[in-house]
Amino acid sequence: MSYARHTMTTIDASNYDAMIAIANGDNFGDFSQWPGLRLIRVVRVAEDRFLTTGGYIDKASADANIDNANVVFGQMASLMNSTPVVREGE
């Protein structure tokens, strides 16, 4: 069964360009190497908020990639105003 993990991040809107520079950088990550990841989408849902959705083949795949996700979000941690909010399920 498919599994999704949604992560809401909040930043100071003035940091938008810095966040995009990180996301477009060469060191951001190769998502094709994440086992079980089928899709990833990042949407700016408000001036200061982004929703990132990872779609996996199952919960085990999502859990196996927690460290990968933490590395990616960790690169942007200094730009975030609060701890990301995570919601997940089938």
Position 4 scores a pLDDT of 98
Query: Which domains, and CATH codes, for the chain?
Result: 3-89 (3.30.70.100)
- With a cut of 70, which residues of the chain have pLDDT below it? 1
Q: How many beta carbons lie within 10 A of that of residue 56, not counting itself?
A: 23
Give the residues across from 35 on adjacent strands.
none
Give the residues across from 5 on adjacent strands.
54, 88
d(CA 17, CA 32): 25
The per-residue pLDDT of the chain, averaged, comes to 92
Position 25 scores a pLDDT of 79
Judge if pTM exceeds 0.85. Answer: yes
Position 24 scores a pLDDT of 84
Nearest to 42 by CA among 14, 89, 84: 84
